[in-house]
Structure 1
Amino acid sequence: MKVAVFGSKSYDRLFLEKVNQKYDHDLYFITPNLDLVTAALAKEFPAICVFVNDILDRPVLEILADQGVKLIALRCAGYDNVDLKVAQELGLSVVRVPAYSPYAVAEHAIALILTLNRKTHKAYNRVREGNFALEGLLGFDLHNRVVGIIGTGKIGRITGQILHGFGCQVLAYDPYPDREFGDRYGNYVDLKDLLTVSDIISLHCPLTAENHHLIDDKAIALMKPGVMLINTSRGALIDTQAVIKGLKSSQIGHLALDVYERESNMFFEDLSAEIIQDDIFQRLLTFPNVIITGHQAFFTTDALENIAETTLSNIAQIEQGKVCPNQISI
């Protein structure tokens, strides 16, 4: 199948071309992200391949459909950037990669927890400057700390398993509890109780209309003073303005983000020579107890190989008229 790959980076091309030796799709790599302006580049492509920051709202989807696009292949798990009702209305099939490497994201969440706690990023810079003082580097034992996992899909369960191995007391909240996880690694509680007693809270849930700004002023007010908050899921799970207030009052003692609710015009790009216009994001960067990474939690060779394999397999199954288990239906 002839496929336009939007928002493609060098690593996308490397892994997709490698896996495509088996599938022999006709891949065209397009550097810009998909939006209202670039949608015209999809003309004469029956399929497009997109990522998390591509825009697939009604105006874009209508352009795609008018140009003959029939298939939208997401090379990611989340699909909150796609208007699925409009896609269905226009006869567009949407497929995704529901799991690529849950270990990659879970391990990155652990890395953020350890870095925030033991301040290894600060120690690294100090030692390079000949400063071996320990003031300002004080951390705490993870052992026996209470960790709240919000969302126990594959990533959340693996994160909880790792933290259980550290000796943490793991609590979990999910509308659909996993019995094995609850029996072996943690205790399911309601969300209010989790927010109230956790020393560390880590988010591992998809973004829906119901949980948009799940972490808001009210949720933060329930948390223990000095709580550590980690988000490697979707940026809009957190009300950034509320978090900034929580940081200023010291209600939030540590914050690590791999995602940001207004990341689409920044993340995955080199803006080092530009002035970032997002004042809210710039405010976050002023706090010494905040770490932000640019949506890199998924970024391992294992994950990229799995993403390429599943994406190209999805496209092949749709092309051949087979049932694709990764097709999204509403």
Structure 2
Amino acid sequence: MKVAFFSTKSYDKEYFNRFNDDNLHEITFFEVPLNNQTAGLTTGFEAVCVFVNDKIDEETIEIISVNGIKVIALRCAGFNNVDLKAAKSRSVSIVRVPAYSPESVAEHATALILTLNRKTHKAYNRVREGNFSIENLTGFNLSGKTVGVIGTGLIGSSFCKIMLGFGCKVLAYDDIYESPDLISKGVQYKKLDELLTQSDVISLHCPLTPETAHIINANSISKMKNGVMLINTSRGALINAKDAIEGLKSGKIGYLGIDVYEQEADLFFQDLSESVIQDDVISRLISFPNVLITGHLGFFTKEALEEIATITLNNLSDFENGRELLNEIKS
């Protein structure tokens, strides 16, 4: 199958070329993202492979379908950047990678917690400058703290188990499914408001839907403990960033760790070190000493990249050979 591969990075080429056995698929790599301005590049292809910040809206889908695209292969789990109705109306199938090493994201969320808490990033920079002072680097014991987990799918479940291993009391909220396995291990499911008011640390692991968009806002932040630690490794739009800034200024939010950001499409996966960042919200967030931002790094492990490449290529093969699409997204 002829595949137009968008938003290409060096690691994409490495892993997809490695697992594209016998060059079963003819992949052309484009560094540009897919959107209505670049959709013309899909002429002569049968499939596109896209990532989280490609914009597959109605106009883009119309262009690529006219160009002969029959399937959109997402090399990620989320699909909020795709107009599902437009794809269905054009008979364009959509497949994704529903789960790839959930431990990678769960472990990254844990890394954000530990870094923010024990300030290892600050200690590292001090020592490199010959400053061995530990003033103002005080942390807290994670053991014994109450950790609230919003969303207990594969990633959320993995995170719950890690926190239990640290000796935390783990509360969970999931409006779709409550895991008997997690309950048997000691996780307590609560209503959202109860979780917000009782947790010392809150970590987001739910998908972005109309119901969860800005689930963290001025109202929900007001219910949290003073000095709460808030972690988001799921989707940026789960948090209203401007409300989070107000929470940081007031001290209600004591720590904020985010691997995702609502307007990340114009920022993440690019080197902007020599540019003036035009996004005032993220610039303000970066200025806080108790905020840690990583650029959508949570998935980035060898194991996850192998799974992403393997599952995506299998999805394309299943489509090409008329087999059941196990990972198809249906509107």
TM-score with structure 2 length normalisation? 0.99
In the TM superposition, 1:1-330 aligns within 5 A as 1-22=1-22, 24-175=24-175, 176-330=177-331
Are 1:161 and 1:185, in contact at CA under 8 Å, matched by a contact in 2? no
The CA deviation string for residues 255-297 of structure 1, in whole angstroms up to 9 with x for no partner, is 0000000000110111111111000110001100000000000
- Residue identity opposite 2:262 in structure 1: E
The CA deviation string for residues 34-68 of structure 1, in whole angstroms up to 9 with x for no partner, is 01110000111110000000001101111111111
Are 1:23 and 1:312, in contact at CA under 8 Å, matched by a contact in 2? no
Structure 2 gaps of 5+ residues are none
Are 1:160 and 1:185, in contact at CA under 8 Å, matched by a contact in 2? no
- Residue identity opposite 1:76 in structure 2: C
Hey, what's the Cα distance between the residues in 2 that align with 1:155 and 1:161?
10
CA apart distance, 1:324: 1.3
CA apart distance, 1:22: 4.8
Hey, what's the Cα distance between the residues in 1 that align with 2:6 and 2:95?
15
Hey, what's the Cα distance between the residues in 2 that align with 1:245 and 1:13?
41
Q: Structure 1 vs Structure 2: percent identity of aligned residues?
A: 55
* Alignment root-mean-square deviation, CA: 0.7
TM-score with structure 1 length normalisation? 0.99
The CA deviation string for residues 73-100 of structure 1, in whole angstroms up to 9 with x for no partner, is 0000000000101100110000000011
- Residue identity opposite 1:165 in structure 2: G
**SS state of the match for residue 138, structure 1?**
coil
**SS state of the match for residue 126, structure 1?**
helix
Hey, what's the Cα distance between the residues in 1 that align with 2:31 and 2:302?
21
Hey, what's the Cα distance between the residues in 1 that align with 2:108 and 2:186?
19
Hey, what's the Cα distance between the residues in 2 that align with 1:127 and 1:98?
42
CA apart distance, 1:185: 3.6
- Residue identity opposite 1:68 in structure 2: G
Hey, what's the Cα distance between the residues in 1 that align with 2:287 and 2:246?
13
Are 1:198 and 1:227, in contact at CA under 8 Å, matched by a contact in 2? yes
- Residue identity opposite 1:266 in structure 2: L
CA apart distance, 1:27: 0.4
Moved over 3 A (4+): none
Are 1:149 and 1:173, in contact at CA under 8 Å, matched by a contact in 2? yes
Q: 1:30 to 1:321 in 2, by over 3 A?
A: same
